[in-house]
Amino acid sequence: MKKKLLTATLVAVTLAAGITAASIFRPICTTEHDVCLYLDKDDDLDSVKTKLSALGTSTTGFSLLTTLRPFTAHSGRYVMHQGMSAWDVFVKLRLGAQDAVNMTVPSVRTLDRLAGAMTRGLLLDSLTLLRALEDEDFIRSYGYDRATLPALIIPNTYQVYWDITLEGMMERMVKENKRFWNEERTAKAQALGLSTTEVVTLASIVDEETACNAEKPTIAGLYLNRLRKGMLLQADPTVKKAVGDWSLRRVLNEHLRCESPYNTYLHQGLPPGPLRIVSVAGIDAVLNAAKHDYLYMCAKEDFSGTHNFATTLAEHQRNAQRYIHALNQRGIR
């Protein structure tokens, strides 16, 4: 009934204006592919029509509708599908029924790379997000500090709205973190005697030790063995974090002496927080760590990215000598 009344009104108005009512319901999006209309908080009716015209969309029927119904522009990303009518476009924009975009959260080492990746294709700019992630008071309001913040972020691809706010993004990350740490994963962490943040911290070491997901549970088991025995972890990635140089090919004695809470050659236990944004594979490797007696590991001399493992120091030293020999042969210093 409402549509009939609207149509009757449209007919009367459009005839008086010399325009056919068909302009309201015929397709106005005639491009071969979908196009996107981006509206920010400063857009008004005139700028909306300008942007629609720029997309190759007729605004005749849309303009007529705005004279019959109140219209307020809502910020967002709106996909204009081929064949949409003026009525379809008007209703979509009037309701603010925007379309979601994919936000990819990667496993990276630095906050600037994280901020750049998370805001790619969004209205929110990376510098605003980066400054917030480096603001101690801001991140403390979400229950984290500078050291533990990486434990909040769970890498994945999430659907969000283009105009998501800084607060909205942080709330989404908190929500996804709680969803990730379900009863099963939380129970596994408790069985290891670790908090979820400690699991992520150990996972960050595992991630830095290898890109081979198949090897990660073995490495996780090795570091858990050392923790249980009260041994120093002596993890080279923590030294790279301490000295602030991830490009190190060889960790030397001078690096091992770097005073930092992240240096596990000097300080017992886990570092104060994750070395990076960890992978889900790294977290699950810790939660499902392999059970074995290994206490030592050394990169293989074939530079395959995998490791030789050992249960005794003597065996480890033999593995280390083979690797050092291979480094010297290649002139890697």
For residue range 256-269, what is the model confidence (pLDDT) as tens digits?
999 999 999 999 99
Q: CA 316 to CA 295: how far, in whole Å?
A: 9
**Rounded CA separation 183/189 (Å):** 10
- Higher pLDDT among residues 81 and 333, named by residue: 81
Closest to 224 (Cα-Cα) out of 197, 212, 251, 206? 206
Which sequence spans correspond to the domains of the chain? 2-95, 100-180, 194-292
pLDDT tens per residue across span 171-205: 999 999 999 999 999 999 999 999 999 999 999 99
CA distance linking residue 66 with residue 17, whole number of Å: 14
The position carrying tokens 């809502």 is 74
b/e per residue 303-323 (b: at least 16 CB within 10 A): eeebbbbbeeeebbeebbeeb
Question: Closest Cα to residue 152, out of 277, 270, 271?
Answer: 277
Residue 58 has pLDDT above 70, yes or no: yes
Dihedral angle of Cα 178, 180, 185, 190, to the nearest 10 degrees: -30
CB neighbourhood size of 8 (10 A): 11
Q: pTM for the complete prediction?
A: 0.87
pLDDT at 11 over 80: no
Tens-place pLDDT, residues 122-138? 999 999 999 999 999 99
Amino acid in position 99 = D
The residue that leads in pLDDT, 7 or 300, is 300
Strands 35-39 and 76-80: antiparallel
